[in-house]
Chain A
């Protein structure tokens, strides 16, 4: 009977055989397509088989998912804050040699998206929140940015930049949703037309008063009533909103309902808002 070495050797032998059968290691593009869910089931199955026998491909995927909380792989030395600080000193010399980037030109008026979502005007407990220990100018910056995105343009919605963008840029479609029942009136579904460039979709769930729960849970249900996603441990922003973001490829066109629950310390669930979303 063999020992542990035999088991390890047998595993290596199997990996070698499978590599010969399945082909070379996956390229980054393939791993990103896998990560983004843009492969059909057969491609996905084939790629999973290859990923399984190429450890770096598997670890790359794990690191992609973990960013920025990446830990050093076995044998890779970590880097200390002092080393980062030292590298900044050399980096800033590189920066100094670069031409200063030009400040952004004032934005031209953008095309109105399919659904101009109502501006969010937080009220009640959400409006008066403060974060202890945060310098006021930080909060002011965040708040002014939110206003720039939302109130300033009259809507918070989903058109990413139409300017030519470098390949390295990322476009995020943003939409703010309001609960479907507010003050006795039923709001209509928010329809979002994701433009071609949008890679991520960020949903901002507006809420007048999130109440005072230990944490919050959101779930997304499709038109057939199937729960397609849920997540606990959410907390409201200082503005009283909740943010969810998704890869564009993860949500197909269709009608969705988003339920927001508050959870007390015992885990008891209370529905506090429902939103409707239609992706075109």
Chain B
């Protein structure tokens, strides 16, 4: 098994590298006193493994996991229309394979197993969709609304159809200045800033994606704003993120 350097998972100054491995690798499943609803799921899993009536027991699993599964698929623009089917397919697979699940008295272990099935359904759905729509343009995770072509820098810069050649040059110049200003940020700060600016992620989401603490995200973005605003103030009326 290859050795993977381990990042510090703490927050603040103790974090050595902002781009260290995502913190959620560590996902400590704090199986703090098991909640009754978690134990209910485990009891249902056990009962189903012993051949109990799915009407009586699978409903408990469905009621707990349908919404997060549905939202995961619905949140993907390319899969939005199929979200109900994909969530149900995931749960069908769970039902069909529940006897193969090696039961443990850990809700988190069952949830991880179920989610692994969901991830496989997601991978297959994206692959299938690519196969159907394969063409000269890349079929993407950014399907649906995000697939609208993003104009080239010049098109975007000239989107407002500036009236004069001087204004056109100024627009292109602004794009260049903004890009350079972002790229001059230190790597971790730059990634936080890009995720905020380009993907419009909130602090918690950036923290999850980058695997760094929430306070670290806040301080990185605070510092990025401090650095960017003076540089960009001359060129943009509002630099808001």
- Whether B239 contacts A7 by the Cβ 8 Å rule is yes
How far is the CB of B128 from the nearest CB of chain A, in Å? 12
Which A residues from 84 to 103 make CB contacts under 8 A with B?
A: 84-85, 87-88, 91-92, 94-95, 98, 100-103
Cα(A194)–Cα(B33), bound, Å: 27
A246-B27 CB under 8 A given contacts A53-B194, A70-B71, A76-B71: yes
CA distance A98 to B98 in the complex (A): 14
Closest to A150 in B: B105
| Residues of chain B within 8 A of A168, CB atoms compared | 93, 97, 116-117, 120
Q: Identify which of A17, A36, A64, A230 contacts B152 (C-beta below 8 A).
A: A17
Q: Decide: A59 near B25, CB < 8 A? Known: A199-B116, A202-B109.
A: no
Q: Across the interface, do B150 and A19 meet the contact criterion of CB distance under 8 Å?
A: yes
Residue in A58, A60, A148, A234 whose CB lies within 8 Å of B32:
A234
Nearest residue (CB) in B for A161 is: B102
Q: Is the interface of A mostly helix, strand, loop or mixed?
A: mixed
CB nearest neighbor in A for B30? A234
CB distance from B69 to the nearest CB of A (A): 8
* B24: interface (CB < 8 Å): yes
Give the CA-CA distance A11 to B241 in the complex, in Å.
Answer: 11
1/0 per position for A196-231, CB-CB distance to B under 8 A? Answer: 000110100000000000000010001000111111
B132 at the A/B interface (Cβ < 8 Å)?
no
Assess the B238–A233 pair: CB atoms within 8 A: no
Nearest-neighbour CB distance to chain B for A61, whole angstroms, equals 5
Residues of chain B within 8 A of A57, CB atoms compared: 141-142
B86 at the interface (CB under 8 A from A): no
- Residues 14-34 of B, flagged 1 when their CB comes within 8 A of A and 0 if not, give 000001011011111111111
Known contacts A55-B198, A101-B96, A228-B6; is-contact A246 B113 (Cβ 8 Å): no
A111-119, A182-190, A237-245, A264-272 - the one binding chain B: A237-245
Asked if A227 contacts B101 (CB within 8 A), the reply is: no
Interface size on B, residues (CB 8 A): 130
Which residue of the partner chain, among B29, B55, B115, B160, contacts A92 with CB atoms under 8 Å?
A: B55
Q: Indicate which residue in A13, A91, A103, A141 contacts B99 across the interface (CB closer than 8 Å).
A: A103
A245 touches B42 (CB 8 A): no
User: B58: which A residues are within 8 A, CB to CB?
Assistant: 92, 95
Determine the chain A residues whose CB is within 8 A of the CB of B184 once the complex forms: none
Q: Distance (Å) between the CB of A5 and the closest chain B CB?
A: 7
How many pairs, one residue from A and one from B, have CB atoms within 8 Å of each other in the complex? 399
What is the distance, in angstroms, from A97's C-beta to the closest C-beta of chain B? 10
Verify A6–B205 contact, CB threshold 8 A: no
Set B7, B21, B33, B171: member contacting A6, Cβ < 8 A: B171
- Are B19 and A170 neighbours in the complex by a CB distance under 8 Å? no
Q: Which of the four size classes fits the interface of chain A?
A: 35 or more
Which of A68, A129, A238: most chain B Cβ within 10 A?
Answer: A68
Q: Does B123 contact A (CB under 8 A)?
A: yes
Q: Is the CB of A142 within 8 A of B34?
A: yes
Interface presence of B219 (CB below 8 A): no
Q: Chain B contacts of A243 at CB under 8 A?
A: 29-31, 106, 108
- Residue B168 interfacial (CB < 8 Å): no
Contact (Cβ within 8 A) B160 A227? no
| Residues of chain A within 8 A of B118, CB atoms compared | 67
Give every chain A residue within 8 A of B1 (Cβ-Cβ).
194, 248, 252-253, 279
Residues of A within 8 A of B24 (CB): 35, 65
Q: Which residue of A lies closest to B40 (CB)?
A: A138
Q: How far is the CB of B136 from the nearest CB of chain A, in Å?
A: 12
A36 and B25 contacting across the interface, CB-CB below 8 Å: yes
CA of A100 to CA of B96, assembled, Å = 8
Once A62-B208, A145-B104 are accepted as A-B contacts, the answer to whether A76 and B157 lie under 8 Å apart by CB is no
A250 and B49 within 8 A (CB): no
**Which interface residue of A6, A57, A135, A250 has the most chain B CB atoms within 10 A?**
A6
B interface residues, Cβ below 8 angstroms from A: 1-10, 19, 21-22, 24-34, 36, 39-40, 42-43, 46, 48-51, 54-55, 58-59, 62-68, 70-72, 74-78, 80, 84, 88, 91-93, 95-106, 108-109, 111-113, 115-120, 122-123, 126-127, 138, 140-143, 145-146, 149-157, 159-160, 171, 174-175, 178-179, 182, 191, 194-195, 197-201, 204-206, 208-209, 234-240
Sampled A-B contacts (18; CB under 8 Å): A2-B237, A9-B160, A25-B140, A35-B24, A37-B4, A45-B19, A52-B194, A53-B198, A56-B143, A60-B75, A98-B92, A98-B95, A102-B99, A104-B49, A133-B36, A142-B34, A167-B120, A229-B28
Q: A2-B235, A169-B97 are in contact. List 13 more A-B contacts (CB 8 A).
A: A13-B152, A16-B151, A17-B153, A28-B141, A66-B208, A70-B75, A72-B75, A103-B49, A138-B39, A138-B40, A168-B97, A172-B113, A230-B10
Q: 3 closest pairs, A vs B, by CB?
A: A252-B3, A235-B32, A13-B156
